[in-house]
Structures are given as structure tokens and as C-alpha cells.
Amino acid sequence: MAKIAVVGAGVGGLASAIRFANAGHQVSIFEANSHPGGKINTLSLGEFRWDMGPSVFTAPQYIEDLYILCGKDFSEFHYKKLSNTFNYFFNDGKRFSLPADPKAMLDVFETELGEDRANVEKYLKKAGKNYEHISPLFIEKSLHRFKHLFNNNLFKALFRIPKYKLNSTMDEENASTFKNKKTVQLFNRYATYNGSSPFKSPAMLNMIQHLELNEGIFLPKDGMVQIAKSLHALAIEQGAVFYFNEKVTEITTKRNSVTGIKTDQRSEDFDVVISNMDVTYTYDRLLSKEVKKPKKTLNQERSSSAMVFYWGINGSFPELDVHNMFFSSDYKKEFNQIFESKTMGNDPSIYVHITSKEKKEDAPEGKENWFVMVNTPINEGQDWKTIIAQTKQNILRKLNKQLNSSIKPLIEEEFVMDPVFIEEKYAAAQGSIYGNASNNKYAAFYRHPNFSKTIKGLYFTGVTVHPGGGIPLAINSAKIAFECYEEDVKKGIL
């Protein structure tokens, strides 16, 4: 039995605690904040409640895997599949709802966007097949160990190489597949699910929408925070011990091996340390300067950040659903501003998430809790106070026009999250949400592995390391790290 320290109680840290504790190890989790879940946080103002971080729940099977591992009945985790994926709004007045039902979805692509339904169906099937062949290799296993790569899944994946369009971008594949620019923009937006640009990300990432459009979007009964609470409870049941409001200040090492951690309250020896902290900050803030940094990995272009306005709205809008997208007129210009000039334009795409559409207790009767998000550049010292004020005006102007209403007088409660808040609250380097962006075809291989190549006993989980951003991938990162640990034990490395 090993003594394990987990740095950070984000989803990757929680899943790691569950797996290591379930295997009989002594697990301690140290979290600087007062809650589990990392960015999966909750906010209450007056009579309104919001989920602060991730808002789109897909692939519940990865959470189910943890329940099965612990011998628990997954039916205890209450959630529902939404009948509608997103409501879409365009600046020219075009709007439609995209149902989750496959036939009804194809009807919308055909009637609202003029697309050939057979062509859309073929595209979505390809996304599903690509995910089916890629996920066992690139999502559920390490890319950085030969044993993980060299198996039957590798040959299945290699057989489909022409299908991945490795030398095309997401936008190039979508533009050559669909005739309506609105369809192209709809599918391009999935690049934002890992903080990237569809005009730079490889076409292979068009498989991202598979989980949402082929399998569906779900909503936990108690909101997204239910995910964090449930995983926290599972970890405790397996014997893990949590220390909240305790900040890890150092991962101690000796002769290229982990020896333990120091926090703002203690110094303690551990056999293994799992960092769920942003990998850049793990090296910059927790490890000795003598530890060699993987510069090529850490110097990759960072993913985008976000600005979120949490508004308690005194009113109800039937044209809105749980998930709503208001597109900009010039998507390429918007992404150039985010990644190249590091600025915000006057016509940002706006995502509005309203859990009270389904979870009525999140807002008083006749009112709604709006989570209003725009993608932003990372924090490079911009004047965020001015940017927030300008962005709010631009958002209100756009929503006023689209919804034919004056929104500002309806705002009863407000809280704003910006890249600086994300950087400080969640220790995310420069406010980047997902660590490295996927803005080139080699990006997946530049993500940091789930283990240290130089420090024995040090492992990594979370959205800033392999396999990438989002709740499903963060959960998988914990599985990969655990498998790497077990391999190291068998090899006698630990």
C-alpha cells in the first residue's frame, strides 16, 4: 500500500482519488479552495443559483465506470437526457432549435439550412466512427508509452487515416462538406470545447461533436455541481481523506524521486504525488527550479479563456432553452482576435446557459438564471475592467436585438468571471481553461503525459495534460495516470 497525495480536487483529482483509494492505497487530497470539483463550482446570489464552470454534460458512461469500479449502483446518480441540444441564433435573424432525436435533427438541417440530410447523416456517422476508433487509443490510453500504443486499436485507427483529414483544418473539412455557411459555423464551434480555433485545429477534431449530437446532452438533477459532489462522496467512501482550504506550496523531491509535499499548514512525506494542478503552474510553483521543464510542451500556444456574466433575470424567455448559441457574423475574425491580437471584438459569439429551464429551483418563478459566456484571449495584462464593460455593452446590444427586449433592466443579480478570476481562483496559467490549444495537427502529441519522465512517483491529471479538456477527458486522465503507476510498480521503478 502506497501513501498518495493528490494536489487539487478537480475532476481529474477526484477520479484519481477514487481509483487509488479503491486499489487500497492511503490517499490524501489537498485543495486550496473550500469545495471539490475545481471549476465545477456553484454560485448563489439572492434567490438564484448557477453552475459556474462546465455546463455541457456528455458521456455519462465515464462517471458510470467509476461507480461500477466502486461497486455502486449508477442509478443513484440522477440525470436526464435533454430533448433539445441547442437553440441557435444568427445575426441575420435566422434561428432554430436542434433536437436530440436523430431524425428530427436531420429534418432541421434539411429544412432550416438546406443541407442534404444524407450528407449530414454521413458526416455524423463518420464523426462517431472516428471517435470509436480514436478514443481507445488517444483518449483512454497514454500516447507516451509504447505499450499503450502498440495494440489492435492502433491498427484499427491507422486503417482509418484517410478519414481523419490530417492535413485539413476543421473549417476546411466543414466548408467542403456543407453548402450553407451557417452549417459550417455550427460545426466549427466545437473547436471551442477545448479552447481552440476551427481555422487552425486539425479536421480530426470534428469528431468532438459526436458525444453531443450522436449520443446526446444530459443534465444532472442537481446541476453540474452534482458531478463534483458525487465523485467527492465516492472518494470518501473508498477511504480518501480531503483537506480543503489547504494550499500545496511545494512537491518535494530527492534524487529524481518524489518525497512528499509541503502545504501552507504542514510538511508530509508521500510515496506518490498526483498533480491535478495546471501543469505549467505545477512546474513553476510546486517543483524545484532544478527540475528540468519540458519546454517544448509548456511553450505551446495556450487555449482560450472565458468571460461569464451570471445574471439573475426578472423575466422568462420561451424562445430560449437550456443551451443557446448566438453566433457572430464573422467567425474567422472573432478567432483571430482571440488568438492573434489577444483582443475582444464588438460582435462576440454568445453562449447562454439556463439551468432553470429544467431545474426550476435555480430561479424564482417567472425568472431565469442566465450564464452568459463569451470566449476571450488569455490574460496578458489587458485592461480587463474596460474590456468587461465594453463586452457587457456588446452582449446586451446583441441580445436586445435577437430577443426583441431590453435585457439590462431585467438584471437583478450579477457576478462576473474573467480570465484573471480563472487564473487566481483555479490556478490556471494566464486564465487558460484547457492548458494547450489544439491549433495544429501535432497538438495532441505535445500535451504533457500523465506521468513525469524525470521524477519517479510524480503523475499528472486534469484538463491541461493528456488527453485534454472537458469532463470526460479529465476523468480519463485519472485512469491513464493510475495505469501508468501500476506499470511502474510492476517494472520495479517504484
Per-domain residue ranges of the chain: 3-40+226-301+436-490
Please check the confidence at residue 438 and state whether its pLDDT lies above 60.
Answer: yes
Alpha-carbon distance of 354 to 370, in angstroms, equals 5
The stretch 332-358 carries a mean pLDDT of 97
Identify the CA nearest to 56 among candidates 218, 214, 225. 218
Q: For 447-458, what is each residue's pLDDT tens digit?
A: 999 999 999 999
Q: What is the mean pLDDT of the chain?
A: 94
CA 453: distance to chain centroid?
A: 25
Q: What is the pLDDT of residue 138?
A: 75
8-state DSSP, 301:
P
Identify the CA nearest to 11 among candidates 34, 28, 29, 36. 36
Q: For 142-152, what is each residue's pLDDT tens digit?
A: 776 656 555 55
Backbone angles phi, psi at 241, to 5 degrees: -115, 130
Q: How far apart, in Å, do the first and last CA atoms of the chain sit? A: 12
8-state DSSP, 337:
I
Strand partners, 89: 95, 326
CA 481: distance to chain centroid?
A: 18
Q: What is the pLDDT of residue 149?
A: 57
Backbone angles phi, psi at 251, to 5 degrees: -100, 115
Q: What is the pLDDT of residue 243?
A: 98
Q: For 119-159, what is each residue's pLDDT tens digit?
A: 999 999 999 998 988 777 777 777 766 565 555 554 454 44
- Whole-prediction pTM value? 0.94
Please check the confidence at residue 219 and state whether its pLDDT lies above 70.
Answer: yes
Residues 153-171 as b or e (16 or more Cβ within 10 Å = b)? beeebeeeeebbbeebbbb
Alpha-carbon distance of 83 to 104, in angstroms, equals 10
C-alpha cell read off for 383: 485592461
Q: What is the pLDDT of residue 446?
A: 82
**Residues making up the chain, counted from first to last:** 494
Identify the CA nearest to 189 among candidates 301, 340, 321, 325. 325
Q: Coil, strand, or helix at residue 330? A: coil
CATH placement of domain 3-40+226-301+436-490: 3.50.50.60
Q: What is the pLDDT of residue 155?
A: 47
Q: For 236-279, what is each residue's pLDDT tens digit?
A: 999 999 999 999 999 999 999 999 999 999 999 999 999 999 99
CA 176: distance to chain centroid?
A: 28
- Region label for 185, one of left (φ > 0), alpha (ψ between -120 and 50) or beta (otherwise): alpha
Q: Where is 65: in which H helix or E strand?
A: helix 61-69
Alpha-carbon distance of 319 to 255, in angstroms, equals 62
User: Within 13 Å of residue 187, how many CA atoms lie on the same side as its CB?
Assistant: 27
Alpha-carbon distance of 8 to 10, in angstroms, equals 6
Please check the confidence at residue 174 and state whether its pLDDT lies above 50.
Answer: yes
